[in-house]
Structure 1
Amino acid sequence: MNLSIWGAARQVTGSMHLLETDGYKILIDCGLDYEKDTWIEENEQFPFQPTEINLVVLTHAHIDHSGNLPTLVRFGFEGQILCTSPTADLTELLLLDSVNIFLNKQRKNRKGKRGFSAGPKPLYLQKHVMETVDRFVTIAFNKAFRINGQISLTFIPVGHLLGAAAAIFTIEEHGIKKTIAFSGDLGRKNYPVLRDPETLPEVDYLVCESTYGGRMHKATQSVDELLTETILETCVKSPGRLIIPAFSVGRTQALVYSLNKIFKKGLIPKVKVFVDSPMATYATDIFRKHHHLVSDEAQEFYKNSGDEFEFDNLEYIQDMNASKAISNYYEPCIIISSAGMLEGGRIQDHLYYNISNYYCTILFIGYCSKGTLGHRLLRGDPIINLRHRELSVFATIKQTDLFSGHGDHNDLVNFVKQQDPQKLKKVFLVHGEMSSLESLSQALNDNHYQVEIAKRGLKYQLD
């Protein structure tokens, strides 16, 4: 049995791992790699023949794990893609959104009839997404699925996102049984809407993400306390606007549920809430469809108080005219819109009209990578460029990591410590910046685990 790490090796994006046994090739995740300047061209260059891959196993829907699947199909992959049912639904939504992003970028690069280059072609189109979706085969959590006579797969819930799973393979090779687990992305305990990560069975090898290695979540207050304090300060004590950039899938649902609980408790007046993201509306319907998989707390809330994603002062915005009309709403309000890093989407409209408003607060609930507009605001830039205009930043800028869907350093260490260090032969660390990988590696070494910070393309023989 051989393991090759072809993505998210000593970086975060582009998860893609190849497991080979007796000529059978399984690709675990196939994500987009955003970390190169020529990322479209780079993502077209697979380090193996897509036609030779027998099976893909998808841990969860996020684009850095699923986003290059249509390219794999476009270049000849003809096998099945195994995932959970929520992952299949959310992945289809996110992949179709990726097509729109590709096409919008191409339109921006096009210079009409002047003869200038239109830029790189889209990585894939809607037809490739639909061909990919046709290959999805969904399997349930905690039930062994027989892939062939020698290989079985079990999905274990890990939080992080609805449907997210660790993939556990049991492989019989030359009469010897071997087990290997791929963590996917590990969630955190007590996250709004989602269930806590479950304990993994003992395995021989573990491929573990390291996103928050060396970093801890700040827990000085709860989600409900943070939101209550911010809304009181922004919308009650002064007639202001609270704008929350939030990713449409996962973060928005957690945020809406948290607001619902706060309003139901009567902790604050019922301030108007706009969710201005059609994609978030579709994603919320998927959460409703798979309601049996949300947290016990959310299910109990549903029994006692009704739909956790719906309340009187909440309005989901669909068409663009309704979105533009929000700028004419002069009462205090909360606006939730995507994209989370401010690099596109309707959030830019709200930013344009409110960034110079002293009575506005912009609350970031997610990570903003370097070079993004969100990052520039968080570092304190006094002026930003938006729609070819320089705008002074008078709005209050805040950030919290309470809505981060990733487990922190201690969560990752405790996740690995579920395994007996005398029986776990090796931990391969992936999906992290080098500083995070090194911090987590040191902590695990201190707990007597054999650790390898995986290198891209190196073939590891698993005895």
Structure 2
Amino acid sequence: MKLTIWGAAQQVTGSMHLLQTDNYTILIDCGLDYEKGTLQEENIYFPFDPASVDVVILTHAHIDHSGNLPTLVRMGFEGQILATSPTADLTELLLLDSVNVFLGKQNKASRGRKRNSGPPPLYLQKHVNDTMERFVTIGFNREFKLTDSVSVTFIPVGHLLGAAAVVLCIKENGQEKKIAFTGDIGRKNYPVLVDPEPIPQVDYLVCESTYGGRFHSTDATLQDTLIDTIKEACIKFPGRLIIPAFSIGRTQALVYSLNKIFSQGLLPPVKVFVDSPLANHATEVYRKYPHLLNAESRDFYKRQGDEFEFTELTYIHTLKESTAISNYHEPCIIISSAGMLEGGRIQDHLYYNIQNYYCTILFIGYCAKGTLGDRLLRGDPIVRLRNRDLMVYATIKKTDLLSGHGDHKDLVNTVTQQNPARLKAVFLVHGDRPGMQALMTSLNDLGYHVNLPEKGQTFEL
């Protein structure tokens, strides 16, 4: 059995791992690589023949894990794609959104030049439709036989609705070997989502390391942080609070947290707008699977009704409704995408409010270097929006309490659930090199054998 790391090798995006037995080839995740060159250059070609892959197993819907599936199908893959039901639903939303992003970039690059002279899209809606036809959904904690010698089990890991660690049991040459891929590991007590479950004992573990060497804040709770921020931004001063949030996962966690605050009367009523069509669709998927939400969320639903609906909340659908928010002069909270400010309706809200002394912008997620969000967080006094240089007078704040990734301690805990005498090797992926090295040091000290694979590196298991 051979394992080749073809993506998220000493970087965060582009998860893609190829597992080959004597007569069966499995691809675990097929994500977009955002970190080098352009999307087209880095993602249009595969380092293996897509037609040679027998099955794809998808850990969760985020685009750095699912986003290149339509390219794989377009280039010849004809097998099934296995995932949980929520993952399939959310993946379809994200892939269709990616098509819009590709076409938007093409149109932007083509302005003022010959028509369609921008970069060609990686794939179109037809390819997304073809991809979704290949999905086969399976439940959590149920062994699913792929062949007489290969089976797979999905273990809940939080992080996102439907997200799973993948445990493969492979019989080869009279021996049984087990290998697990963590996907992205969530946090305990995260709004709406279940806690990560322990991964059963395996022989090999491919583990994410996004927050290696970093620890989440523990000096305040999420509820207290939100209450204090809203008081300062909207109640003490009659201003507005703008929260850039990723449409799938982060927005639903935030809406539920605000619902608890306002339904308990912990703050006076403040109008809340959710301005993201993708987030609206994703929320419907969350409503579709109440049995997969955590116990607190299910109990809230029994006592008070829909977790994602409350009196002060308005979901914005049309562009006209979105534009009208700028004329709403009472204190309010605006939740909009995208989380790093690189596109979407959030840019319109920033354009009208970045020079507003009574505006607070609260970042609740990671912003990659060079993005508009990163520039605001590092304190740039001037930013460019709509081809205008604007002074930053709004207050900029940040919290990591809604990060969907487990931190260094959570990652170590995931690995230490494995007996080091039986776990033959750990392969760290999905993280930057300093974080991986920090996590490797901690695990080595605990007696685990750890590898930091390079892209394309193959291991005989």
Q: TM-score, normalised by structure 1?
A: 0.99
CA distance in 1, matches of 2:373, 2:228: 22
What letter corresponds to residue 284 of structure 1 in structure 2?
Answer: T
Which residue of structure 2 lines up, in the alignment, with residue 219 of structure 1? 218
Which residue of structure 2 lines up, in the alignment, with residue 71 of structure 1? 71
Give the secondary-structure state (helix, strand or coil) at the position aligned to 2:171: strand
CA distance in 2, matches of 1:173, 1:265: 57
The reply on whether 1:43 has 2:31 as its aligned counterpart is no
What letter corresponds to residue 106 of structure 1 in structure 2?
Answer: Q
**Does the aligned pair in 1 maintain the 2:245–2:336 contact within 8 Å?**
yes
Give the secondary-structure state (helix, strand or coil) at the position aligned to 2:176: strand
Which residue of structure 1 lines up, in the alignment, with residue 104 of structure 2? 104
CA distance in 2, matches of 1:85, 1:116: 40
Which residue of structure 2 lines up, in the alignment, with residue 315 of structure 1? 314
Deviation readout 1:105-128 (Å, 9 max, x if unpaired): 00000035x548722200000000
**Does the aligned pair in 1 maintain the 2:272–2:335 contact within 8 Å?**
yes
Q: How does 1:350-389 map to 2 (within 5 A)?
A: 350-389=349-388
Cα distance, 1:220 vs structure 2: 0.9
CA distance in 1, matches of 2:116, 2:315: 39
Give the secondary-structure state (helix, strand or coil) at the position aligned to 1:131: helix
Which residue of structure 1 lines up, in the alignment, with residue 86 of structure 2? 86
Q: How does 1:147-226 map to 2 (within 5 A)?
A: 147-226=146-225
Which residue of structure 1 lines up, in the alignment, with residue 435 of structure 2? 436
Give the secondary-structure state (helix, strand or coil) at the position aligned to 1:402: coil
What letter corresponds to residue 184 of structure 2 in structure 1?
Answer: D
Deviation readout 1:404-451 (Å, 9 max, x if unpaired): 000000000010000000000000010110001100000000000011
What letter corresponds to residue 305 of structure 2 in structure 1?
Answer: G
Q: How does 1:214-363 map to 2 (within 5 A)?
A: 214-363=213-362
Q: Which runs of 4+ in 1 moved over 4 A?
A: none
Cα distance, 1:175 vs structure 2: 1.1
Give the secondary-structure state (helix, strand or coil) at the position aligned to 1:443: helix
Matched positions, count: 461
CA distance in 1, matches of 2:72, 2:79: 10
CA distance in 2, matches of 1:396, 1:327: 18
Which residue of structure 1 lines up, in the alignment, with residue 416 of structure 2? 417
CA distance in 1, matches of 2:333, 2:348: 15
CA distance in 1, matches of 2:77, 2:290: 32
What letter corresponds to residue 40 of structure 2 in structure 1?
Answer: I
CA distance in 2, matches of 1:455, 1:319: 45
**Does the aligned pair in 1 maintain the 2:107–2:116 contact within 8 Å?**
no
What letter corresponds to residue 68 of structure 1 in structure 2?
Answer: N
What letter corresponds to residue 327 of structure 1 in structure 2?
Answer: S
The reply on whether 1:134 has 2:133 as its aligned counterpart is yes
Q: 1:275 to 1:115 in 2, by over 3 A?
A: closer
Cα distance, 1:454 vs structure 2: 1.2
Give the secondary-structure state (helix, strand or coil) at the position aligned to 1:10: coil
The reply on whether 1:18 has 2:18 as its aligned counterpart is yes
CA distance in 2, matches of 1:459, 1:335: 47
CA distance in 2, matches of 1:9, 1:267: 45
CA distance in 2, matches of 1:196, 1:336: 25
CA distance in 1, matches of 2:377, 2:117: 33
Deviation readout 1:243-278 (Å, 9 max, x if unpaired): 000000000000000000000111101100000011
Give the secondary-structure state (helix, strand or coil) at the position aligned to 2:409: helix
Give the secondary-structure state (helix, strand or coil) at the position aligned to 1:87: helix
CA distance in 1, matches of 2:50, 2:249: 30
Give the secondary-structure state (helix, strand or coil) at the position aligned to 2:426: strand
CA distance in 2, matches of 1:111, 1:161: 37
CA distance in 2, matches of 1:206, 1:99: 33
Which residue of structure 2 lines up, in the alignment, with residue 394 of structure 1? 393
Give the secondary-structure state (helix, strand or coil) at the position aligned to 2:384: strand
What letter corresponds to residue 130 of structure 2 in structure 1?
Answer: E
**Does the aligned pair in 1 maintain the 2:201–2:418 contact within 8 Å?**
yes
What letter corresponds to residue 213 of structure 2 in structure 1?
Answer: G
Aligned-pair Cα RMSD in Å: 0.8
**Does the aligned pair in 1 maintain the 2:5–2:457 contact within 8 Å?**
yes
**Does the aligned pair in 1 maintain the 2:8–2:430 contact within 8 Å?**
yes
Deviation readout 1:201-258 (Å, 9 max, x if unpaired): 1000000000000000011111100000000111111100000000000000000000
Cα distance, 1:23 vs structure 2: 2.1
What letter corresponds to residue 205 of structure 1 in structure 2?
Answer: Y
Cα distance, 1:57 vs structure 2: 0.1
Give the secondary-structure state (helix, strand or coil) at the position aligned to 2:225: helix
CA distance in 1, matches of 2:383, 2:18: 43
Give the secondary-structure state (helix, strand or coil) at the position aligned to 2:131: helix
Task: Note the residue ranges of structure 1 that are not aligned, 5 or more in a row.
Answer: none
Deviation readout 1:267-322 (Å, 9 max, x if unpaired): 10110000001111100000000111001000000000110100011000000100
CA distance in 2, matches of 1:446, 1:230: 40
CA distance in 2, matches of 1:163, 1:315: 26
Which residue of structure 1 lines up, in the alignment, with residue 451 of structure 2? 452
CA distance in 1, matches of 2:227, 2:457: 50
CA distance in 1, matches of 2:109, 2:425: 47
Q: TM-score, normalised by structure 2?
A: 0.99
CA distance in 1, matches of 2:80, 2:107: 33
Q: Percent identity?
A: 68
CA distance in 1, matches of 2:217, 2:359: 24
What letter corresponds to residue 69 of structure 1 in structure 2?
Answer: L
